C-alpha cells in the first residue's frame, strides 16, 4: 500500500514539474492584476468607478479624449472636429467615417445621440457628470440629436461652460454604444442594460471575450479598429485581491501591470529594477467628514480641533507614500485656481486641539465613533485614532464598509477618499462645496457636503458661477475665492491629502499610462 | 513507646494526603477532590499533556503580568520606527504603526484569555443545561431541543460564527457571542448522551422515589456526573474556538483597533509578510501554540477520564 | 384488592385473555417506512431551521436590501416602490415564509456586487470549491491515515508524539499563514506551481465546462496542457487545506487502529507468526476502512471552513471567497445564499455518511 502511495506521489509531482514554462506572460498578451470586487456590470451607463472605467474605456470609444499627460487639451476620437455656437448654446461635433462597431455596424451620429440619451434615461451612476448640465429623461431626446449621419448636436438647456461639457463627453460613462445591437437585446424596456452588463457592443480597440464577475475579464483585440490594430492581441484583467500574491506574480513575470497593491508591497517593488511605479495624481482627496447633524460636531471650534488632531506628517512618508501627497486645499494641485502649495494650513498640534475642545465646552475631551469608508481607508483611520487620542479625542474605531452609511448620513466621524473624472476644479467643488438642499428628504447622496450636513449659500453661488463662466481668467478667480471661503469656515470635510493612484508595471511594458480620469487605454501598449 | 500524633502523621504522610487517599470519602467535595487527585496522577504520565498544560499556565501568567513584562504601551504609534526588525530594544520588532510587537502579543494574551474564559463560562452551562434537560425529559422536549442543536451543528463553526459576527457587528463582545452560539451544540449533545445513560441508573430512581423534583435531580445528581466529560470536550473544542476567534479577527470581525488581538494582528501582518515576517510570525505562533496546547491537554484529559477507546 | 388480581392473572397464564393477542411482528416495510418518515421529518425540520438561521442572519446584516437592488443613487419614490415590492414592511413570519417559498423555487435573489442572480453565481463557483475540497480530502487521507496508523502501531513512542504534534500543527497554525508561506516557497522561489485562479491566464476559456471541475473537463477533452496547468494551480491550496484536516483524520485513524489492535484476532494472528505489516495493513486496516470512509465524509465539512480562509489567499474563485467578499461588502443575498449552500452541503454529507455507515458496516445491519 505504501508503495502505491509513493508511486502516486511521484507521478503527481512529475506531472506538475513537467509543465512547460509558460509561466511568464506571453509577449502579445497584457495581464493586469487588479481588484474586480463590486463590478456588477460592464455597461458604461451604469458605471463610473476607477477599475471598471479602465475596462470600459477600451471597449468603447468616446467622442473626444484627453491624453494622460495633458488634461486640458481635448483631442479627437470618434469626433474629428467640434465647434460651439456663438451663443454657447449648441455644440456640434463631426464624426469620423471609418469607425466601425465590433458587430460591423458603422458608427453614426445616431448611435452617439442614443448613447447619451440612454445614460440620462437610465439615471444610474454613469449619468452623474453629464446630468449636471441639466439634461433630464424628458428633454434629452430633443436636446441631444443627430443632425445627420455624421453630425451630432448637443443643445444645452442652461448656460454652462462648454469645455466642461466636452470634458464630460470624454468620460468612460459616455462611451458610444451600438444602438442597433443593444436594442436588439433589450428586455422589459431596460435599454439593453441587462445584456450590456456582460457583453460589449462598442467600437473600441478591444471587445469583451469573457467576463466572470470577481474573477476575470478577457479582451480580444479588434483588428479593424480605425486607429490601427493594437499591439496586444489579448488583455486579461485578473482578480487578485491578495496584494502579496499579486506582488509575487509581478516579480515572477506572470502579471504585467499591478493595481491596488498594499504600501508594504509597493515599497518592496520600488527597489526592484524590473519594476516601474507610476504614481498618477487623482482628482480627489483623503478627508475627515464630521457629521453636522451631530450637535457636538456642529460647533466650529470642535471642527477646528479636528484640523489639529491628526498627525498627517507622520504617515505621509510611509502609508501614504504611494496613495497621496499632503494637500489641504479643495482645489486639486495643478488646476486653475489652485494655490501653489497647500500643506501647511493646519498642523498636528494636540495641545491646541485640546484647548479648542475646552473652549467649545469639552474640557475632558470628546468621544465619538470613527468609521473608515472602507478597507482602503482603514490604516488611515487607525493612524487618526492614535494621534487624536493625544488631543483628547477618544475615537472608537468601528471598521467595515461605511460608504453607504455615509450616503445616508448615518455616522459620526468618517474617514474617506474621493475621486472624480472631470479634470476641472468644478468636479471636486460639486462634491465638496455644493449643497442646494440640506434636508433629509432631499437625499443628495452624491454631494459630500450634503452627506456632512452643511449648506453654504455663498459656495453654492460660486460653484454655479464656475459652471457657467466661459472666461478662464474669471473662473480662476472664482476658484480662488472658493478656496479661501472653504478654508476659512472650518469645513466639516477636513482635507489632508490629495489622492494618487499607483500603477506598477514591469519595465518591459511600454505605453501603459494610468489616466487621472481613469480612462486608461491599452491601444498603444507594447512589450519588449 | 507510642509515637505522638505528629510523628505518626509524618510517617504516614500529611493529613491532606490522608484525606485524599481515604477509602470512603465523606461528601461530594471530598470525593471530587479524590477523583481530581487520581486523574492528576494519571495525567502526570502524559508528557505531551503536561507540555500543553505548561503552555496554558504560561498564557495565564503572561496575561496577568502583562504590564510587568513590557514597558511599552501596545497601542501607542510611532511612525518613525515602524516595521523595524527584532532587536534589543524591541524584542519582536515593531509593526506597521511602530507599535512594539512583543507588547501587543503580551496584552493580546489578555484578549485571548478573555475570550477563552467567557466562551467557556457561557458555553458549558448552556450546553449542560440544554443537554441534560433534553436527555432527562425526553419526548417532545428532547425532539425540539435536539432539532435546534442539529440545526446549529449543520454549519461549520467558522461559517456560522462569521454570519453571526457580521450580523452583530465588529467588536470583541459580539465575536464572543457569535462563537458561543456555535460552540454549545457539541456540549449539549454530549450532556444529553450522558444523561440518557444515567437516567436509568438505580441511584436516580432512588432519589426520585425520595421525592426529588426534576430540577433537583438534574442539577444535584446528573449535572455533576456530566461535568468531567464536558470539561474534556470544552478543552478539546477550545483549540478550535481559538482558531475561530483568530479567523474572525483575521476577517476584521473581532476586537476593534487598536486593541491587540492575535487574529487581527495576523491580518495586518499579512500585508507585510514578505518583507517584515516578524509582524505576522509572532501572533501566528502564539495562536498555534495556544491552540496546540489545548489540543494536547484535551487529548491527555480524554485518555485519563475516558478509559474506553483510544488510550 | 390488588393481591387477588395478581393471583387471578397468574392462574390464567396459560390461556390468552381478550386483551392479550399473539405477538405479530409489524411488516418490515412498515418499519422501514416509519423510520424513513422519521428521518424525512428530521431533515425537513433541520432544513427549515437552517433557512431560518440564514434568514435572520441576512436580515440582521447592516445593509439596506433596497439599495442592493436599486443601487445607491435612488429617489424616494423608487426607494419606496422597491421597499414595498420586497415586502419589507410585512411581519417577520410572512417575510420568512415568502423567503422559504422563493428558495424552494430556486430564487435566491440577486447579488448587489455582481449583479447576477445568486443561483447563477453559486452554480459557477460551487464546483471550484468542491474540486478543491476533494483534492484536499485526498491529500488529507494520503497523509493522515498512514500517520495515524503509524502512531497507533508505535503507540507511546517518540514517533507517536511527533506524529501527533505534526498532525495538530496543521490545524493550529493559521491557514492563511501556511498558505502565503507556501506560495512564497513553491511559487516565488521554486516556481513549481501556479499562483492565482484555477488555471494560467493563457488557458482561460479554452475548456468547455461540462462538470465544472477543470481537472475532469480538461482530461475528458484531452487538453493535457490545460490539465497540467489546472493541477499546478490546485495542488498547493489543496495540499494546505488537506493538511488542515490531517489532525482529525490521523487522530481518528489512530484511535480506530488502536481499537483493532487490542482485539483478540490480532493477538492470535501475531501469535501465529504473521508479520506486523501484514497484520496491520491486510487485516486491521480492512476492518476500519468503513469507519475511515465516514470520517472522510465528516472532514468535508471542516474543509469548507478552511476554504473560507484559504480561497482569499490563493485567489481561488470559490464559495469561500464569495462568502468573505459578501460579508465585507455587506451583500445580504450573497451571505444568505452562501451560508445556506454550505449548511445544505454539510447536512447532506452528514446524512450521506450516516446512510453509508449503515449500509457498509455489517455490525449495524
Chain A residue with minimum CA distance to C236: A16
pLDDT at residue A290 in the model? 95
pLDDT at residue C23 in the model? 67
pLDDT at residue C361 in the model? 63
- When comparing pLDDT for C22 and C113, which is higher? C113
Chain B CB within 8 Å of residue C283 CB: no
pLDDT at residue C262 in the model? 79
Question: Which residues, numbered 278 to 337 in chain A, qualify as contacts with chain B under a Cβ-Cβ cut-off of 8 Å?
Answer: 311, 314-315, 318-319
Q: How confident is the model at residue C173 (pLDDT cuts 50, 70, 90)?
A: confident
Chain B CB within 8 Å of residue A394 CB: no
Chain C residue with minimum CA distance to B248: C309
pLDDT at residue A356 in the model? 93
A256-279 as b/e: b if 16+ CB within 10 A? bbbbbbbbbbbbbbeeeeebbbeb
pLDDT at residue B119 in the model? 93
Chain B CB within 8 Å of residue C172 CB: yes
Q: Which residues of B touch C174 (CB under 8 A)?
A: 243, 246-247, 250, 263, 266, 284, 287-288
Task: Measure in Å the smallest separation between the Cα of A342 and chain B Cα atoms.
Answer: 23
- The chains found to touch C (3+ Cβ pairs under 8 angstroms) are A, B
pLDDT at residue B310 in the model? 35
Give yes or no for residue C364 having a pLDDT over 70.
no
Mean pLDDT, chain C, rounded, equals 78
Q: Which residues of C touch A242 (CB under 8 A)?
A: 180, 312-315
Of C114, C124, C202, the CB nearest to A22: C202
- When comparing pLDDT for A405 and C17, which is higher? A405
pLDDT at residue C11 in the model? 42
pLDDT at residue A93 in the model? 95
Neighbours of A351 (CB within 10 A): 11
Neighbours of B144 (CB within 10 A): 12
Of B96, B257, B273, the CB nearest to A399: B257
Least-confidence region, from A230-239, A498-507, C115-124, C169-178: C169-178
**Do the beta carbons of residue C60 and residue B168 sit within 8 Å?**
yes
**Do the beta carbons of residue C310 and residue C136 sit within 8 Å?**
no
Of A253, A270, A324, A269, the C-alpha closest to A496 is A324
Please indicate whether, in this complex, the C-beta atoms of A214 and C194 are within 8 angstroms of each other: no
pLDDT in tens, B19-40: 777 777 777 677 777 777 877 8
Task: Measure in Å the smallest separation between the Cα of B261 and chain A Cα atoms.
Answer: 15
Neighbours of B267 (CB within 10 A): 21
pLDDT at residue C14 in the model? 44
Chain B residue with minimum CA distance to A381: B257
Chain B CB within 8 Å of residue A241 CB: no
pLDDT at residue A15 in the model? 55
Task: Using CB atoms within 10 Å of the CB of residue B305, give its burial: 0 to 12 exposed, 13 to 18 middle, 19+ buried.
Answer: middle
Return d(Cα A7, Cα C316) in angstroms, integer.
28
Please indicate whether, in this complex, the C-beta atoms of B169 and A265 are within 8 angstroms of each other: no
Q: Which residues of B touch A383 (CB under 8 A)?
A: 77, 79, 97
Chain A CB within 8 Å of residue C324 CB: no
Question: Which residues, numbered 97 to 136 in chain C, qualify as contacts with chain B under a Cβ-Cβ cut-off of 8 Å?
Answer: none
pLDDT in tens, C254-296: 888 888 887 777 778 777 877 777 777 777 777 788 778 878 8
Q: What is the mean pLDDT of residues B214-242?
A: 83
CA A138 to chain centre: 28
Please indicate whether, in this complex, the C-beta atoms of C164 and B292 are within 8 angstroms of each other: no
pLDDT in tens, C302-321: 888 788 778 877 878 888 88
Pairs of residues, one from chain A and one from chain B, whose beta carbons lie less than 8 Å apart: 63
pLDDT cut 70: percent of chain C above it: 87
Give yes or no for residue C10 having a pLDDT over 50.
no
**Do the beta carbons of residue C297 and residue C356 sit within 8 Å?**
yes
Q: How confident is the model at residue C36 (pLDDT cuts 50, 70, 90)?
A: confident
pLDDT in tens, B149-182: 888 887 778 888 888 887 787 788 888 999 998 8
For residue B85, give every residue at least 6 positions away whose Cβ sits within 8 Å of its Cβ, in sequence order, or none.
B93, B276, B278
pLDDT cut 90: percent of chain C above it: 3
Chain B CB within 8 Å of residue A396 CB: yes
Of B157, B243, B274, the CB nearest to C172: B243
pLDDT in tens, B127-146: 999 998 888 888 888 888 88
Chain C residue with minimum CA distance to A46: C71
Task: Measure in Å the smallest separation between the Cα of C315 and chain B Cα atoms.
Answer: 15
Q: Which residues of chain A have pLDDT under 50?
A: 1, 19-22
Using DSSP bridges, classify how beta strands A366-372 and A393-397 pair: parallel, antiparallel or unpaired: parallel
Please indicate whether, in this complex, the C-beta atoms of C301 and B147 are within 8 angstroms of each other: no
Give yes or no for residue B309 having a pLDDT over 50.
no
Chain B residue with minimum CA distance to A248: B274
- Residue from B83, B94, B96 to probe the interface with A (highest A Cβ count within 10 Å): B96
C131-160 as b/e: b if 16+ CB within 10 A? bbbbbbbbbbbbbbbbbbbbbbbeeeeeeb
Please indicate whether, in this complex, the C-beta atoms of B271 and A311 are within 8 angstroms of each other: no
Q: What is the mean pLDDT of residues B240-263?
A: 84
Q: Side-chain half-sphere of A10: how many Cα atoms within 13 Å?
A: 6
Task: Look up residue C187 and give its DSSP letter.
Answer: I
Task: Measure in Å the smallest separation between the Cα of B12 and chain C Cα atoms.
Answer: 34
Q: Which residues of B touch C62 (CB under 8 A)?
A: 169
pLDDT at residue C295 in the model? 82
pLDDT in tens, B255-294: 788 889 998 888 888 778 778 888 988 998 898 899 889 9
Q: Which residues of C touch B151 (CB under 8 A)?
A: 46, 49-50, 52-53
Mean pLDDT, chain B, rounded, equals 83
Using DSSP bridges, classify how beta strands A29-34 and A257-259 pair: parallel, antiparallel or unpaired: parallel
pLDDT at residue C12 in the model? 41
Q: What single string gives the DSSP state of each residue in C73-110?
A: ---HHHHHHHHHHTTTTS-HHHHHHHHHHHHHTT---B
Q: What is the mean pLDDT of residues B188-212?
A: 83
Please indicate whether, in this complex, the C-beta atoms of C49 and B148 are within 8 angstroms of each other: yes
Task: Measure in Å the smallest separation between the Cα of B194 and chain C Cα atoms.
Answer: 21
Please indicate whether, in this complex, the C-beta atoms of A382 and B75 are within 8 angstroms of each other: no
State yes or no: cis peptide before C329, omega within 30 of 0. no
Q: How confident is the model at residue C72 (pLDDT cuts 50, 70, 90)?
A: low
Chain B residue with minimum CA distance to C336: B163
- The chains found to touch B (3+ Cβ pairs under 8 angstroms) are A, C
Give yes or no for residue C6 having a pLDDT over 70.
no
Return d(Cα A385, Cα A375) in angstroms, integer.
15
Size of chain B in residues: 311
- When comparing pLDDT for A224 and C45, which is higher? A224
Chain A CB within 8 Å of residue B96 CB: yes
Least-confidence region, from A160-174, B211-225, B235-249, B262-276: B211-225
CA B90 to chain centre: 31
Q: Which residues of B touch C161 (CB under 8 A)?
A: 47-48
For the whole model, what pTM was predicted?
A: 0.81
Amino acid at each position: 500500500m505504501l508503495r502505491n502511495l509513493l508511486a502516486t506521489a511521484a507521478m503527481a509531482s512529475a506531472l506538475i514539474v513537467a509543465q512547460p514554462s509558460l509561466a511568464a506572460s506571453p509577449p502579445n498578451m497584457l495581464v493586469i492584476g487588479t481588484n474586480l470586487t463590486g463590478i456588477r456590470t460592464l455597461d458604461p451607463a451604469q458605471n463610473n468607478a476607477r477599475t471598471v472605467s479602465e475596462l470600459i474605456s477600451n471597449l468603447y470609444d468616446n467622442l473626444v479624449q484627453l491624453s494622460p499627460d495633458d488634461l486640458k487639451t481635448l483631442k479627437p476620437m470618434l469626433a474629428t472636429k467640434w465647434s460651439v455656437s456663438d451663443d454657447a448654446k449648441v455644440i456640434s461635433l463631426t464624426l469620423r467615417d471609418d469607425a466601425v462597431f465590433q458587430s460591423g455596424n458603422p458608427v453614426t451620429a445616431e448611435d452617439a445621440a442614443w448613447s447619451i440619451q440612454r445614460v440620462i434615461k437610465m439615471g444610474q451612476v454613469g449619468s452623474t457628470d453629464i446630468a449636471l448640465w441639466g439634461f433630464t429623461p424628458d428633454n434629452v431626446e430633443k436636446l441631444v440629436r443627430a443632425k445627420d449621419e455624421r453630425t451630432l448636436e448637443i443643445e444645452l438647456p442652461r448656460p454652462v461652460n462648454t469645455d466642461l461639457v466636452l470634458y464630460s463627453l470624454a468620460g468612460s460613462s459616455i462611451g458610444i454604444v451600438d444602438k442597433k445591437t443593444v436594442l436588439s437585446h433589450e428586455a422589459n424596456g431596460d435599454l439593453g442594460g441587462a445584456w450590456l452588463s456582460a457583453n460589449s457592443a462598442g467600437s473600441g480597440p478591444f471587445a469583451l471575450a469573457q467576463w466572470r464577475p470577481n474573477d476575470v475579464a478577457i479582451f480580444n483585440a479588434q483588428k479593424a479598429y480605425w486607429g490601427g490594430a493594437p499591439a496586444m492581441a489579448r488583455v486579461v484583467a485578473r482578480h487578485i485581491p491578495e496584494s502579496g500574491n499579486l506582488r509575487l506574480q509581478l516579480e515572477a513575470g506572470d502579471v504585467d501591470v499591478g493595481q491596488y497593491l498594499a504600501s508594504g508591497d509597493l515599497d518592496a517593488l520600488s527597489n526592484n529594477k524590473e519594476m516601474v511605479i507610476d504614481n498618477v495624481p487623482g482628482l480627489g482627496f483623503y478627508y475627515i467628514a464630521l457629521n453636522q447633524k451631530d450637535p457636538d460636531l456642529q460647533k466650529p471650534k470642535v471642527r477646528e480641533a479636528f484640523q489639529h488632531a491628526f498627525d498627517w506628517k507622520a504617515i505621509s512618508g510611509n502609508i501614504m507614500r504611494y496613495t497621496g501627497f499632503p494637500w489641504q486645499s479643495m482645489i486639486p494641485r495643478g488646476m486653475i485656481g489652485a494655490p501653489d502649495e497647500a500643506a501647511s494650513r493646519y498642523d498636528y498640534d494636540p495641545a491646541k486641539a485640546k484647548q479648542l475642545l475646552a473652549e467649545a465646552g469639552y474640557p475632558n475631551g470628546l468621544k465619538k465613533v470613527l468609521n473608515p469608508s472602507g478597507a482602503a481607508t482603514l490604516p488611515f483611520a487607525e493612524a487618526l485614532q492614535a494621534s487624536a487620542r493625544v488631543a483628547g479625542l477618544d475615537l472608537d474605531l468601528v471598521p467595515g464598509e461605511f460608504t453607504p452609511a455615509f450616503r445616508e448620513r448615518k455616522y459620526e466621524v468618517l474617514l474617506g477618499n474621493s475621486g472624480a473624472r472631470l479634470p476641472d476644479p468644478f468636479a471636486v467643488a460639486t462634491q465638496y462645496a455644493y449643497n442646494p438642499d440640506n434636508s433629509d428628504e432631499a437625499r443628495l447622496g452624491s454631494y459630500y457636503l450634503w452627506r456632512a450636513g452643511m449648506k453654504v449659500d455663498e459656495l453654492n453661488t460660486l460653484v454655479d458661477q464656475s459652471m457657467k463662466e466661459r472666461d478662464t481668467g474669471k473662473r480662476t478667480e472664482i476658484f480662488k475665492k472658493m478656496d479661501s471661503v472653504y478654508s476659512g469656515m472650518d469645513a466639516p470635510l477636513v482635507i489632508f491629502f490629495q489622492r494618487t493612484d499607483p500603477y506598477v508595471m514591469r519595465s518591459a511594458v511600454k505605453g501603459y499610462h494610468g489616466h487621472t480620469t481613469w480612462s486608461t487605454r491599452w491601444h498603444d501598449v507594447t512589450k519588449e | 513507646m507510642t509515637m505522638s500524633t505528629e510523628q505518626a502523621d509524618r510517617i504516614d504522610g500529611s493529613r491532606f494526603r490522608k484525606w485524599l487517599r481515604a477509602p470512603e470519602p465523606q461528601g461530594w467535595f471530598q470525593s471530587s477532590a479524590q477523583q481530581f487527585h487520581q486523574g492528576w496522577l494519571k495525567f502526570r504520565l502524559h508528557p505531551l499533556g503536561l507540555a500543553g498544560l505548561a503552555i496554558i499556565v504560561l498564557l495565564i501568567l503572561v496575561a496577568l503580568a502583562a504590564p510587568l513584562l513590557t514597558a511599552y504601551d501596545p497601542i501607542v504609534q510611532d511612525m518613525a520606527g515602524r516595521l523595524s526588525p527584532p532587536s534589543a530594544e524591541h524584542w519582536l520588532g515593531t509593526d506597521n504603526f511602530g507599535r512594539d510587537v512583543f507588547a501587543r502579543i503580551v496584552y493580546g494574551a489578555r484578549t485571548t484569555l478573555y475570550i477563552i474564559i467567557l466562551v467557556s463560562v457561557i458555553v458549558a452551562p448552556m450546553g449542560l443545561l440544554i443537554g441534560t434537560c433534553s436527555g432527562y425529559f425526553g419526548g417532545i422536549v428532547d425532539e425540539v431541543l435536539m432539532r435546534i442543536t442539529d440545526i446549529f451543528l449543520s454549519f461549520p463553526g467558522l461559517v456560522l460564527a462569521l454570519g453571526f459576527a457580521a450580523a452583530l457587528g465588529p467588536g470583541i463582545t459580539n465575536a464572543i457571542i457569535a462563537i458561543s452560539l456555535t460552540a454549545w451544540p457539541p456540549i449539549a449533545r454530549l450532556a444529553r448522551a450522558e444523561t440518557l445513560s444515567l437516567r436509568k441508573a438505580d441511584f436516580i430512581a432512588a432519589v426520585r422515589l425520595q421525592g426529588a423534583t426534576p430540577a433537583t435531580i438534574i442539577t444535584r445528581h446528573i449535572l455533576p456526573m456530566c461535568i468531567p466529560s464536558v470539561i474534556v470536550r470544552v478543552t478539546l473544542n477550545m483549540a478550535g474556538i481559538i482558531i475561530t476567534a483568530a479567523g474572525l479577527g483575521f476577517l476584521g470581525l473581532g476586537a476593534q483597533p487598536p486593541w491587540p488581538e492575535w487574529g487581527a494582528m495576523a491580518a495586518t501582518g499579512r500585508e507585510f509578510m514578505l518583507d517584515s515576517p516578524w509582524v505576522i510570525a509572532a501572533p501566528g505562533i502564539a495562536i498555534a501554540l495556544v491552540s496546540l496546547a489545548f489540543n494536547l491537554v484535551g487529548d491527555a484529559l480524554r485518555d485519563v477520564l475516558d478509559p474506553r477507546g483510544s488510550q | 384488592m390488588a393481591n387477588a388480581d395478581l393471583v387471578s392473572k397468574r392462574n390464567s397464564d396459560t390461556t390468552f385473555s381478550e386483551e392479550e393477542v399473539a405477538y405479530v411482528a409489524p411488516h418490515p416495510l412498515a418499519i422501514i417506512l416509519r423510520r424513513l418518515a422519521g428521518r424525512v421529518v428530521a431533515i425537513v425540520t433541520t432544513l427549515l431551521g437552517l433557512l431560518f438561521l440564514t434568514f435572520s442572519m441576512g436580515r440582521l446584516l447592516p445593509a439596506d436590501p433596497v439599495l442592493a437592488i436599486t443601487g445607491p443613487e435612488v429617489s424616494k419614490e423608487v426607494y419606496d416602490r422597491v421597499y414595498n415590492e420586497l415586502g419589507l414592511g410585512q411581519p417577520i413570519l410572512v417575510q420568512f415564509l415568502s423567503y422559504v417559498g422563493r428558495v424552494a423555487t430556486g430564487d435566491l435573489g440577486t447579488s448587489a456586487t455582481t449583479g447576477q442572480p445568486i443561483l447563477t453565481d453559486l452554480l459557477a463557483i460551487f464546483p471550484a470549491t468542491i474540486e478543491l475540497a476533494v483534492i484536499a480530502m485526498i491529500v488529507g487521507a494520503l497523509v493522515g491515515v498512514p500517520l495515524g496508523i503509524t502512531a497507533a502501531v508505535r503507540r507511546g513512542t517518540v514517533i507517536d508524539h511527533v506524529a501527533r504534534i505534526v498532525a495538530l500543527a496543521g490545524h493550529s497554525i493559521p491557514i492563511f499563514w501556511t498558505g502565503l508561506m507556501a506560495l512564497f516557497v513553491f511559487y516565488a522561489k521554486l516556481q513549481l506551481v501556479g499562483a492565482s485562479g484555477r488555471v494560467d491566464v493563457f488557458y482561460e476559456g479554452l475548456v468547455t465546462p461540462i462538470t465544472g471541475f477543470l481537472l475532469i473537463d480538461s482530461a475528458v477533452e484531452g487538453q493535457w496542457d490545460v490539465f497540467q496547468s489546472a493541477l499546478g494551480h490546485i495542488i498547493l491550496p489543496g495540499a494546505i487545506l488537506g493538511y488542515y484536516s490531517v489532525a482529525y483524520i490521523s487522530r481518528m485513524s489512530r484511535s480506530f487502529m488502536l481499537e483493532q489492535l487490542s482485539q483478540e484476532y490480532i493477538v492470535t494472528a501475531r501469535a501465529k507468526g504473521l508479520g506486523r505489516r501484514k497484520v496491520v495493513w491486510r487485516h486491521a486496516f480492512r476492518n476500519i476502512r468503513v469507519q475511515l470512509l465516514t470520517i472522510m465524509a465528516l472532514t468535508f465539512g471542516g474543509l469548507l471552513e478552511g476554504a473560507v480562509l484559504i480561497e482569499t489567499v490563493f485567489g481561488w474563485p470559490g464559495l469561500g471567497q464569495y462568502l468573505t467578499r459578501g460579508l465585507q461588502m455587506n451583500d445580504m443575498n450573497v451571505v444568505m445564499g452562501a451560508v445556506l449552500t454550505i449548511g445544505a452541503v454539510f447536512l447532506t454529507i452528514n446524512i450521506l455518511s450516516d446512510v453509508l455507515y449503515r449500509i457498509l458496516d455489517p455490525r449495524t445491519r
